Chain A
Amino acid sequence: MSTLLATAVGVLYATAIYLILRRSIVKLVIGLVLLSNAANLLIFTSSGLTRYAPPLIPEGASAVVDGIVADPLAQALILTAIVIGFGVLAFAVVLIHRAYEVVKADDMDQMKDTDT
């Protein structure tokens, strides 16, 4: 399975990079969303994939039953990353909206200078 997911991560990265290399700012934002998904999935896959063993401790037990659960640390990190990613996205979206109102163009080449 990790091979399959590795391919998916590669595709996500490729599309994300392609989009952030475009001149349109909207595409840049879409690329950023894809990029954060790609990075999250990369961490998720590299921490090892486990089926049917969520990092939960059953009621009444003081430790996991047979000792094998999915890596909780990687999950905690990704959780943080998802939320931060959303915060950044929200800010970026409002920012480009504001930029569009000022520059009146969805083209980064027209935002080269601070004077526009």
Chain B
Amino acid sequence: MLYALLGGFGVAALAPWLHQLFGRHSGWALALWPATLFIYFSGFLAGVNDGPVLLQHNWIPSLGIQLSFMVDGLSLLFALLISGIGIFIVAFAGRYLEGHRDLGRFYAILLAFMASMLGLVLSDNLIALFVFWELTSITSYLLIGFNHEDAAARRSALQGLFVTVGGGLALMTGLIMLAMVGGSYELSSLLNQGDVIREHALYAPMLWLILLGAFTKSAQFPFHFWLPNAMAAPTPVSAYLHSATMVKAGVYLLARLNPALGGTELWLTVLGSVGAITLFIGIWLALRSTGIKKVLAYSTVMALGTLTMLIGLGTPLAVTAAMAFLLAHSLYKGALFMVAGIIDHETGSKDLRDTGGLFRAMPITAVVAGIAALSLAGVIPMFGFVAKELLFDAALKNAASWILALVIAGTIMTVAVGALIGFLPWYGAPVKTKKQPHEPAPALLAGPVVLALLGLGFGIAAPWVDRMLLGAAATAVAGVPVDYPVSLWHGFNTPLLLSIISLIAGLLLYRWRQHFHHHTRFTEVLARTGPERGYDLVMAWLIKVSAWQTGFFQSGYLRYYLLIILLTFMALVWTVLLLYWPALSFGIHLQGIQLHEYVLVFVLMAAAVAAARTDSRLGAVASLGAVGFTVALLYVMFSAPDLGITQVLVETLTVILLVLVLFRLPKFLRLTSTALRLRDVLVASAVGITMTCLLLFAADARLYESISHWHVAQSVPSGYGRNIVNVILVDFRALDTLGEIFVLALAATGVLAMIRLRAEDKRK
């Protein structure tokens, strides 16, 4: 399993070379990898009804992060869809982008995406799941922005990235909360903790965060706007990511976590209403669009809304319906997107209004598109019909009446959209297109043909599909065994009646679509003030704020940086001091000080002030020397002879150095105004007072005993030395001293280098 997943990234890395190796057949060659995976995953089909299979590999054992994988009905359904559709997408891309100079890169990202997506649906560990989740966002960003010379593509890519990764951030928080509450990072054990998790106080915030992640990824209202914009990607990407796989990641997550999080009133309300609203808005916008890919993208939004709503309902029937709908949608939408790519590739048209009468030029494609569109519209005997029947059944039995109304209205419009795609470009009067249309190459046609025929075959063999996989998938989602009979023919009942009504109404709507367009113009105003406008405003605001704050903080003047640091430091220190003020003692100890000590400290302070005030360089250096030597005397007086000696030595060297160098520099100038000086005096005094207060508090508070008594006691027995400070430096903390020597050597090297540089300048 590990090889199957991580191998994908390996193949992705090799893809550019393989592409060069196989030339124009690279599409088929690389399609072998998803084909291998498909066969591998098919091997799990036999045992899928016996419960989940767990596979574990240690990744970061110290953090409890494992690369553990779970294969059950749900993950297997996704894995088979991802690898199965992947075969045709890779082959399709090889021909669709033939001759494109970046095709190698395209393969690499596409295969990396595939591996990430497989990792996402198979991960049992929440952290691993999240990592794969973000990888799909990043790879899809690269894929949407594949035509990076096109500004619109870049914008769409960035938009998709911001929306999905922003949601991912919320998701991460939510998943961590979930793991904390459930006591494990493993999905397999979390899914049995449903009762504990649902009762927990953190349930509601956790659910909202996870839902935010899932809704952004799956383009639910009000985040639905990024998906149609993502159609800037090359068609194979749209077909793969934005119909069959990536956008379903959010749905997958919801389905996966249903046993742990689902079943509450909140879950039902949020998922049900968001899903139903998304469903309606999606198909509404699909019907109003004219770009072929836009129509398909919006109808994908509709499908995602449907899935969310069904998972929200959460009954065995609804869950079965969701799984059937998922399978049906992946098949027909993958096929239709590839057909849209074929139309684009063979005729150069991307708009429904620029096509017509293509049946004569490409009959096979037309038939395939018709079959897929029938599945989209949900016409017997397609698998889409089975899914639609289940959808009606679930909505009738479990959903609120307003949701049912939206479902019926959505289905009617879906039929119209199906007619739009399956009929409009192919029949009627031929429209002159940019290129002379003809039947496409086998690599382009293979995907649509197989997927559309599978949609037909699965419809006829619906009970078999249910027994093989769908039942197990629904069981995994529901968390309890689900055995809802799925078949093509359920007899004469209300769902069938609704199917027939929606079919007729949908065809009527298609017939009168011009009127529909005309009478629904008012919604365009809504679209302009919709969520996408909000996104634009947020982005514009973000840029403004960052420009402002960069200008504000990054002034380029050292003193302003210092001022910010100092003021922040004081604010923090005083906040803490004032918070604990009553507990602090502030002792003034002035007894027992001898006169010479008073004199010494006074000299020290006077010299420091003089160093700051003087306008003469020599005066400054002399004051500095006075400070240094007084400090040395203080060291000696308070039992630190070593410090005294070192300080005297260093101070002498410092003064000599400063005198030697500073006199080659110009005299002090008065560079700042009195007001600014006053400000600096204030800040400096405040810092000084802060330090004094800190020190006074510190002198009276000793939280921990000093560890130095150990050094004192061990100095002779372990260190064989009588000067304890020396023993510490060269023995107990010898590594520190080594580091110090290293720093000094480095400084000396630097000094030498700069002096040499100067000598060279002079020689020139």
Contact = CB atoms under 8 A, between A and B. Distances in A.
Interface residues of A, number: 91
Nearest to B662: A26
Contacts of B628: 33, 37
B711 A72 contact: yes
Interface in B662-719: 662, 664-666, 668-669, 671-672, 680-681, 683-685, 687-689, 691-692, 695-696, 698-699, 706-708, 711-713, 715-717
B713 A63 contact: yes
Contacts of A112: 556-557
Interface string A90-107: 110111111011000011
Interface in B710-764: 711-713, 715-717, 722-725, 728-729, 733, 736-737, 740, 743-744, 747-748, 750-751, 754-755, 757-758, 761
A75 B664 CA distance: 36
B707 A21 contact: no
B757 A87 contact: no
Interface string A8-23: 1111111111111111
Given A11-B608, A80-B729, A23 B559 contact: yes
B578 interface: no
Given A54-B640, A79-B725, A94-B755, A84 B740 contact: yes
Contact of A14 (B559, B631, B650, B687): B687
B529 interface: no
A74 B639 CA distance: 12
> Which of B609, B638, B751 has the largest count of A CB atoms less than 10 A from its CB?
B638
A83 B156 CA distance: 58
User: Which interface residue of A53, A85, A94 has the most chain B CB atoms within 10 A?
Assistant: A94
Contacts of B671: 22-24, 107, 109
Main secondary structure of the interface of A (DSSP, over half): helix
A13 B689 CA distance: 9
A4 B593 contact: yes
Chain B, interface size: which category?
35 or more
Nearest to B608: A15
B712 A98 contact: no
A91 B758 contact: no
Contacts of B723: 55-57
Contact of A19 (B597, B612, B757): B612
Nearest to B586: A3
Contacts, number: 282
A29 to B, nearest CB: 8
Given A19-B612, A22-B671, A70 B639 contact: yes
Interface in B578-620: 587-590, 592-593, 597-598, 601, 604-605, 608-609, 611-612, 617, 620
Interface of A: 1-24, 26-30, 33-34, 37-38, 40-42, 44-59, 61-64, 69-76, 78-80, 82-91, 93-98, 100-101, 106-109, 112-113
12 contacts: A2-B695, A3-B587, A11-B609, A19-B611, A19-B612, A52-B639, A57-B716, A57-B724, A84-B740, A94-B751, A97-B661, A109-B671
| In the A-B complex, the 6 residue pairs with the closest CB atoms | A14-B688, A10-B692, A70-B639, A18-B684, A87-B747, A10-B688
Interface of B: 556-559, 562-563, 566, 587-590, 592-593, 597-598, 601, 604-605, 608-609, 611-612, 617, 620-621, 624, 627-628, 631, 634-635, 637-643, 646-647, 650, 653-654, 657-658, 661-662, 664-666, 668-669, 671-672, 680-681, 683-685, 687-689, 691-692, 695-696, 698-699, 706-708, 711-713, 715-717, 722-725, 728-729, 733, 736-737, 740, 743-744, 747-748, 750-751, 754-755, 757-758, 761
